[in-house]
Amino acid sequence: MTKSGFIAVVGRPNSGKSTLLNHLIGEKLAMVSKKAQATRKRMNIIVMHGEHQLIFVDTPGIHRKERLINEFMLEEALKAMGDSDLILFLAPVTDKLDEYEKFLALNESKRAKHIIILTKIDHVRQEKILEKLGQYQRYQDRFEAIIPFSVNKKVGKKALLDEVVKYLPESPALFDTDIMTTDNIRDIYKELIRESVFENLSDEIPYESDVTIEKIDEGDLMDRVYATIVVEKETQKGIIVGNKGEGIKRVGRLARKQLELFSQKKIYLDLHVSVKKGWSKSRGSLEEQGYIF
């Protein structure tokens, strides 16, 4: 009997969730940034492992902040935890156990089974990894397994997927076995453009910005994508546009490259910037941008 199920991937901001998922799928789908809180919404990433279908749910980092957009992001992570058959909790090896203890408190009512993935182990010596494994043993009755894992070393992928399959229900595939995600093309293009904003602009801009896909004209050899970067202040618009338009050109170049890598087509990208004051602090504006509470 084949198995199929949902696996929520959770952890603090910048714990390596999106990097792990892109490694497991072998494609660039989940948004990766060195800056924390890049992921805002859940995204299903589908991995076929033999006959089994594993639907990983990428989530925003677990954190608490006063802003409404951060409240939405925490709710997205909690919903994924509640709806999944298994949780992967990503714990960087250099972290104290505080973040794991916060996760246990959030998971108390859900009682969802979880596996700890000890990430970024290539950054420390073997004795540090063994020390950390020892610290987690005080909670050994709470987790199903703990797995040290390094994306950079490119080992352990099969062992991780084998372990995940153990805890999934028997079921035929829930989605078409040929697709990698349930997200539509607009959402994927939006996230790839937003990632370029994160990578190219100073720290204060990305968190008050978003991307709206106005229109996509799909062709056999080329997609024409019309998009708008939304910010909260005129000064932010000026920074994005940059001197003689150099800022938005830089964002556009990286975004177009990422879109072409994903689509395997040529991309014409028409990119503009618009000011929408206080959009991240208004429930109505957030819902207009696709963040539905």
- Residue carrying structure tokens 């992921």: 39
Contacts of 121 (CB under 8 A, 6+ apart): 93, 129, 148, 149, 150
Domain 185-288, CATH: 3.30.300.20
| AA letter at 192 | L
- Rounded to whole angstroms, the Cα distance separating 258 from 140 reads 41
| AA letter at 182 | T
**pLDDT, tens only, 235-291:** 999 989 999 999 999 999 999 999 999 899 999 999 999 999 989 888 888 888 888
Residue pair 42/57 in contact by the 8 Å Cβ criterion: yes
The class that CATH gives domain 4-165 is: alpha beta
| AA letter at 62 | I
**pLDDT, tens only, 43-61:** 899 999 999 999 999 888 8
Across the chain, mean pLDDT equals: 89
- Rounded to whole angstroms, the Cα distance separating 4 from 1 reads 10
Same CATH fold, 185-288 and 4-165?
no
246-263 vs 185-200: helix axis angle to the nearest 10? 140
Query: Which is it for the CA torsion 71, 103, 123, 154, positive or negative?
Result: negative
Which residue in 38, 77, 71 sits closest to 57, CA to CA? Answer: 77
- Rounded to whole angstroms, the Cα distance separating 111 from 229 reads 40
The conformational region for residue 113 under phi > 0 = left, psi -120 to 50 = alpha, else beta, is beta
pTM: 0.85
Q: Is the pLDDT of residue 141 over 60?
A: yes
**pLDDT, tens only, 184-208:** 899 999 999 998 998 888 666 777 8
Cα torsion through 21, 23, 29, 33, rounded to 10:
80
Identify the weakest region by mean pLDDT among 55-59, 84-88, 221-225, 288-292.
288-292
Which whole number is the average pLDDT over 115-132?
93
Instruction: Give the tokens for residue 25.
Output: 């799928």
Q: Where are the beta strands (DSSP E) in the chain?
A: 4-10, 43-49, 52-58, 86-92, 114-119, 145-148, 210-218, 222-231, 266-275
Structural domain boundaries of the chain? 4-165, 185-288
- Judge residue 216's burial from the number of C-beta atoms within 10 Å of its C-beta, 0-12 exposed, 13-18 middle, 19 or more buried: middle
